[in-house]
Structure 1
Amino acid sequence: SKDFTYSTKEIQSPLGIAPMNTPDDQIVISTILRAGLPYHQGFLSYLDNAENAFVSAYRKYKDRLNFDIHIEYIASPRLTDKTLIITDPMLATGSSMELAYEALRTKGHPAHIHVASIIASKQAIEYIQRKMPDDITTVWVAAVDDELDDHSYIVPGLGDAGDLSYGEKE
């Protein structure tokens, strides 16, 4: 968020007026359903004037270890010239993030893209750097783990973020 443009505005609090630095950027927070929902809400707690976008991305397994990523749903405001933050707690291979971005591009071309994850694999970061426009993409990640297992889960990672938030899916 240090890259955002800010201006100071007078904000009325219950007890008086306080100067506050607020972002001038038109921000859209997007998340990849369902794992990203709690993380998305956290961003909204700080960027409460942001618009919202949602993309469903899921793994469709061909067999026990091989899968394709499928996008079935997208809801987004116009993105042209806005700052897009795509949130997903786990960035394992980077494929879901790339496909979510490609789906969101149908809604316009953002001025800047921030990819926000809690844990990422080195492989995913390298993938994002190759596949997304490097001149307007920033990756925000709290931890980088070294490997992926046979199922392309981050090791040690946290496991399935959606299952941890909402319970196992059938």
Structure 2
Amino acid sequence: MHIHNLSEKNSILNSFIAEMRDVTVQKDRMRFRRNIERIGEILGYELSKSLHYNTKAVKTPLGTCNIHLLNNDIVLCSILRAGVPLHNGLLNYFDDAENAFISAYRHHKEQPETFEIVVEYLACPSLENKTLILADPMLATGQSMLATYEALKPFGTPKEVHLVSVIGAQKGVDFIESNFSKNTHLWIATIDQTLNSKGYIVPGLGDAGDLAFGEKLQH
């Protein structure tokens, strides 16, 4: 797997991540969502450098200019609900992309430390020979990302796969590296080293879905 960890080089991205982590700033839901969106835009820009381009002649008022334009059929798939702001950030840049949405959540068993990933809602176009961008802001154990990818397989075989996350744990990164093709790309803003006993990233930032949209009732 090709891992692109943007935190390895300092940039303005650090400011957005800091605000998302900061307990005094993250209480502002609108700003939290906007920071995820902005990080999605940055990740999308970096990802775009690895895609394929064709030359097109564009007529200007004073002449003709040859420009290299994107030549990928992109399907952008996000995991509900925390993935919505990240999806919007990516869509701001890949505005011609087709879109897919899937719900994948942790169903905790009798022990709080154990859970399974449940996939319910899924809407997806054909993925056959297309570029799949699979987005989930939090890459903790990696199980949600893998369960989502498995659920998408009946829709066709993508030409290439790009995974996009904001914050990951090293254990989750290792897990998807072991379970995805070596040609898969992971684009991630930063990687933390630890998961707690419940499978949450430490120091992380908390529950991204709750911070973006409000706390949910558990069932």
TM-score w.r.t. length of structure 2: 0.72
Q: What letter corresponds to residue 197 of structure 2 in structure 1?
A: D
Larger Rg: 2
Structure 1 residue 19 displacement after superposition:
5.8
Tell me, in whole angstroms, the C-alpha distance in 1 between the residues paired with 2:180 and 2:191: 19
Greater mean deviation of Cα atoms: 106-115 or 18-27: 18-27
Tell me the distance in 2 between the aligned counterparts of 1:17 and 1:65: 62
Counterpart AA for 1:169? K
Query: Cα 1:42–1:12, aligned 2, differ >3 Å: closer, same or farther?
Result: farther
Cα offsets for 1:15-45 (capped at 9, x unmatched): x987654310100000001010000010000
The one of 78, 81, 87 equivalent to 1:34 is 81
**Could you say if the C-alpha distance between residues 33 and 11 of structure 1 is closer, same or farther in structure 2, counting changes exceeding 3 Å?**
farther
Query: Matches of 1:143 and 1:71 in 2, distance apart?
Result: 26
**Of 86, 97, 107, which residue of structure 1 is paired with 2:155?**
107
The whole-number CA distance in structure 1 between the counterparts of 2:67 and 2:93 is 13
Partner amino acid for 1:95?
Answer: Q
In structure 2, distance between residues paired with 1:118 and 1:101: 18
AA aligned to 1:4 is L
Query: Residues 41-120 of structure 1: matches in 2 within 5 Å?
Result: 41-62=88-109, 63-120=111-168
Point out where structure 1 has 5 or more consecutive residues left out of the alignment.
none
Distance 1:57 1:145 in 2: 22
Match of 2:25 in 1: none
Percent pairwise identity: 47
Q: Evaluate the alpha carbon distance shift between residue 166 and residue 11 of structure 1 in structure 2; reply closer, same or farther with a 3 A threshold.
A: farther
Q: 1:155 aligns with which of 184, 202, 212?
A: 202
CA gap of 1:21–1:164, structure 2 versus 1, over 3 A, is farther
Runs of 5+ unmatched residues, structure 2: 1-47
Q: Which structure features the higher share of strand residues?
A: 1
Report how far residue 83 of structure 1 moved: 0.4
Structure with larger RCO (C-alpha < 8 A, sep 6+): 2
CA 1:82/1:159 → structure 2, altered by over 3 Å: closer, same or farther?
same
Quote the offset at 1:75 in angstroms: 0.7
In the aligned structure 1, how far is the partner of 2:56 from the partner of 2:207? 41
2:181: which partner in 1? 133
Measure how far apart 1:10 and its partner are: 5.2
TM-score by length of 1: 0.92
Segments ≥4 residues shifted beyond 3 Å: 8-13, 16-21
